[in-house]
Amino acid sequence: MSTATTPGRGADRRTRPADGVLLFEDPATTSKTPALDRPAFGKIAAKAHPGDVLIVSELFRLCRDLLDIHAVRNWCQARGVVLRVLSGPLSNFHDLAADDATTAVIINVITAVGQFQRDIRNELTVEGITAAEAEGRYRGRPLALTGNDVEVVRSTYTQQGTSMAALARAHGVSRAANRTALSDLLPDRSIPAPRSS
């Protein structure tokens, strides 16, 4: 029997799965992407066989809401795959994809409460940001490049055609910080090609 696992963020890359265990990971997948549409889940689907066990670190790391949980459960049931969770209130179940009334009702209650908690937290976050913006306290992350540094980056990029990577190294900032400083210059692509030395 093989086990497919999908760890959450921060999984130890030095961990080597046991023989017969396949490790799949989506390290930077948006929470707006349903579990069945994620790239790693496509790999799981290609490898899964009846009797396999799909193990996830925590259910909401894989599924974004109650509908997503049901879609994963239905997928597992249709393929005869056991679904297990390592942490959280559903970690005591041997098989979350079991097709019995007791498992279904408990999963519905626990996941509905979990979804409710996430929705409340999101609403409170939005309310907090709105209140902070109204009081002038919320401005987002401070810019990495300001003042003269922005002008230097812009002129170096446009006049010398310096690459994003070289600008990032020269100014000790990320490429994203450079893209922010150059945002109005990038869409038209009227930047000269880098000069050969």
Per-residue HEC secondary structure of 125-155 comes to HHHHHHHHHHCCCCCCCCCCCCHHHHHHHHH
Global pTM value: 0.52
pLDDT by 10s per residue, the chain, length 197? 344 444 444 444 555 667 677 777 776 555 678 888 888 888 888 888 899 998 888 877 788 777 888 899 999 999 999 999 888 877 888 888 888 898 888 888 887 887 788 889 989 999 988 888 888 777 667 767 778 888 888 887 777 777 778 888 887 888 788 777 877 776 554 444 444 44
List the end-to-end C-alpha distance of the chain, in Å, as a whole number. Answer: 58
At position 196, the amino acid (one-letter code) is S
With a CB cutoff of 8 Å and minimum separation 6, the contacts of 146 are: none
